[in-house]
Amino acid sequence: MAEKIGATSLRFGYDLSLTKAREWGLYISTSRGKTSIGIEEPALFSEPGLFMVTPEQSLYYGSTQTMPFVRPHFSELVGALDFAIEHNYPARGEYTGDV
């Protein structure tokens, strides 16, 4: 994927164990047989997730999905990251106090 989008400094993770997928908050699904393109689904598998982690190892962006459709477009995501970096925009969702 890094080669496909020309991102030589990005690292991609894939093929997580179900235990690790659950640790990352990914949804776990059961097989429905063959997919629309004729591939047999495994008995259990994780649905897609996209996580961007800072060099300091903190989560900057996270997205989990309950279905394999409508994944983020990388060009839009990179544009948003360029904006965030240029404007020193912080990650959100950091509040952990009482509500």
Give residue-wise pLDDT tens across range 65-99. Answer: 998 887 888 788 889 889 998 999 988 888 889 99
Strand ranges (E), the chain: 28-30, 44-46, 49-53, 59-64
What does DSSP assign to residue 56?
Answer: T
More confident residue, 40 or 67: 40
pTM of the entire structure?
0.76
Q: How many Å apart are CA 49 and CA 41, to the nearest integer? A: 18
pLDDT score for 74: 79
pLDDT score for 33: 94
pLDDT score for 70: 79
Residues 18/46, Cβ–Cβ less than 8 Å: yes
Residues 68/47, Cβ–Cβ less than 8 Å: yes
